[in-house]
Amino acid sequence: MPEKSLNKFWALCVAMGCMLSSTIWAQQETPHPGANSSAPAHASSQIEPGSAPASNPGSVGTEATKQTRITPAEAQELFRSVDDILKFASQDTGLLLYHPVQRELVDRDHLSKYIQDRMEKDEDAQRLQRSELVLKKFGLLLPDFNLKQFLVGLLREQVAAYYDTQKRTVNLLDWVDPEVQRMVLAHELTHALQDQALQNQDFSLESWIKHGPKDTSQRIVDVRRTSDPADVGGVDDDEQVAARQAVIEGQAMIVLLDYQLAPMHQSVLDVPQVVEAMKQGLIAGSPIFNRAPLYVKESLTFPYTYGLDFERSVLQLAGKQKAFAGMLRRPPQSTRQIMQPATYLGNEHIEPMRVPEIRQALGKDYEQVDVGAIGEFDVSVLLKQFAGEDVAKRLWPQWRGGYYYAARRKSLPAGPILLVYFSKWAEAGQATQFAQIYADSLKKKYQKLAPVTLQSQSTPQRGGGAVQLAIADPTTKWESESGPVFVEQHGDTVLVMENVDEGTAARVRQVVLGTRADRSQLRE
């Protein structure tokens, strides 16, 4: 089964039964008017962090931070607080409380075994390995970064509390301060309410995150499948998972902040500066988190920062019912809708992009490594890393679709990855900018890079005619230590081919751009 999106963290988290992104909240200060209080760490099968140093983000030690265990009396009081916080969360969201939530106190050994067991599943390990290969190919991870080791270390060292979606139990940790956990419970118990709301529809929170609403009419129909189902599949699946994860975390963050503001009779709608302060506190992170690559940081914070902003916007503009219960019935379908709530509220529809049969163009010498969508979130981080924050904010909202295909020669199982990346933009001028930024990024990805000047910059297409290149720099081909690299603009799209020889590039170009020509003729 091929992968579906450049960002695999969210789907992997669901498969593990824990949201890795939740690890970033532990032991942070959450400001509110008149007081400072410890903010949460959390997770839905969600896990929250404490703080532990790490000399290398990709090589994290396993020794647990020494902390005093809470007393039996503190544990009992913490258990009793669950019911009161549940009632608050139910009132705040409008989600009904159908039955009490089971609770359990666990120690570090229990948690470590849980993390290790889930991460060691063959499917999860293979998925993470493919993710790491592709992220490194895009230059979003350094070649020597060990993603699995980093994530296991972050979870093991930084957890504070979590709701187990499989056992439907809120797990409290016997080494974390009760006051910290009590605040975390406002977040975690929101996940329990979400789970109960979906159980009442004979569904579950975990299934909802993975597959979407039980009412299949609310799901995107995949029209991008090729004649070879093994070649592509639904490439936007993980984009939808990311959007649903942001909804789940965004709702829980609303409740967490409202719980903190309740003594002052205020809410997130009354004090927007609290939302911004929480987001800024999140960026500070833990020592392990701070050393992570930009893409990892952004991936782990996305469900919280953008999810919180998305849910707050819907709550403010459309009301509680739509922001909570209604969102479980009709969730957003992409990271674009999360990052730009107006596109969700305005029912914007971007036609799903069909991935052509690139495997056929590559021939029998290659085997597929990975294939999937590149969403607006992925593009935003790519732009931040290689062009800076200001350029990224100006350009990423103009993204209109994209996919990648990664393969490797069968005769070189440890050889370089072949990458095909297709990116669509609102206008040709924006495609020009993106092509130039991507071309500039090659200097950071390859040790040896020599430009090749091409005499003719036109591409024959299946429907006849040619597509003229309009890139700012006339260079569209380079020689690298791994093979030829092409970055070509074709109207409002950009085609990237890395480690592809000239003959193979011609076949890929014909398949990718020929498919576009055929679709254009059909629309006419």
User: What pLDDT does residue 96 have?
Assistant: 96
Angle between the 9-16 and 237-261 helix axes, to the nearest 10 degrees? 70
More confident residue, 104 or 217: 104
β-partners of residue 497 are: 420, 486
User: What pLDDT does residue 52 have?
Assistant: 32
pLDDT for residue 235 is more than 80: no
By mean pLDDT, which of 62-71, 149-158, 446-455 is the weakest? 62-71
% the chain with pLDDT above 70:
74
Beta-carbon contacts of 506 under 8 Å, excluding residues fewer than 6 positions away, are: none
3-state secondary structure of 451: strand
Handedness of CA 408, 413, 417, 421 (dihedral sign): positive
User: 432: closest CA among 392, 473, 467, 460?
Assistant: 473
More confident residue, 128 or 387: 387
- Which of 92-101, 166-175, 195-204, 217-226 is modeled with the greatest confidence? 92-101
By mean pLDDT, which of 14-28, 60-74, 115-129, 143-157 is the weakest? 14-28
More confident residue, 383 or 238: 383
Burial class for 71, CB neighbours closer than 10 Å (0-12, 13-18, 19+): exposed
pLDDT for residue 44 is more than 50: no
User: What pLDDT does residue 153 have?
Assistant: 76
β-partners of residue 103 are: 170
User: What pLDDT does residue 17 have?
Assistant: 42
Cα distance between residue 369 and residue 363, in whole Å? 14
More confident residue, 150 or 390: 390
Name all domains of the chain by residue range, CATH numbers in brackets: 9-204+236-345 (no CATH), 358-523 (3.40.1000)
Band (pLDDT 50/70/90 cuts) for residue 471 is: very low
User: What pLDDT does residue 110 have?
Assistant: 84
- Which of 20-29, 42-51, 103-112, 510-519 is modeled with the greatest confidence? 103-112
Tens of pLDDT, residue by residue over 7-40, are 655 555 554 444 343 444 443 434 434 333 333 3
User: What pLDDT does residue 224 have?
Assistant: 36
Q: What's the pTM value of the predicted model, to 2 decimals?
A: 0.83
More confident residue, 52 or 456: 456
pLDDT for residue 520 is more than 50: no
User: 406: closest CA among 353, 354, 437, 362?
Assistant: 362
CA dihedral of 456, 459, 464, 465, whole degrees rounded to 10:
-50
User: 21: closest CA among 331, 306, 340, 386?
Assistant: 306
Q: CA 275 → CA 115, 253, 377, 489, distances in Å?
A: 31, 9, 21, 40
Q: Which two tokens stand for residue 441?
A: 């990024």
3-state secondary structure of 169: strand
Tens of pLDDT, residue by residue over 261-308, are 999 999 999 988 888 887 777 655 577 888 889 999 899 889 999 999
Q: CA 422 → CA 21, 404, 426, distances in Å?
A: 28, 6, 14
Q: CA 520 → CA 241, 317, 438, 486, 514, distances in Å?
A: 30, 37, 26, 24, 10
Band (pLDDT 50/70/90 cuts) for residue 123 is: low
Q: CA 387 → CA 108, 439, 449, distances in Å?
A: 42, 11, 19
pLDDT for residue 475 is more than 70: yes
β-partners of residue 374 are: none
Question: Which residue type occupies 418?
Answer: L
Question: Which residue type occupies 365?
Answer: D
User: What pLDDT does residue 39 have?
Assistant: 33
Tens of pLDDT, residue by residue over 388-419, are 999 999 999 999 999 999 999 999 888 899 99
Cα distance between residue 363 and residue 366, in whole Å? 6
More confident residue, 410 or 227: 410
3-state secondary structure of 373: strand
Backbone phi, psi, residue 507, to 5°: -70, -40
Tens of pLDDT, residue by residue over 318-366, are 999 999 999 999 999 999 999 999 999 999 988 878 889 999 999 999 9
Do 359 and 320 form a contact (C-beta atoms < 8 A)? no
Residue given tokens 């700012």 in the structure block:
472
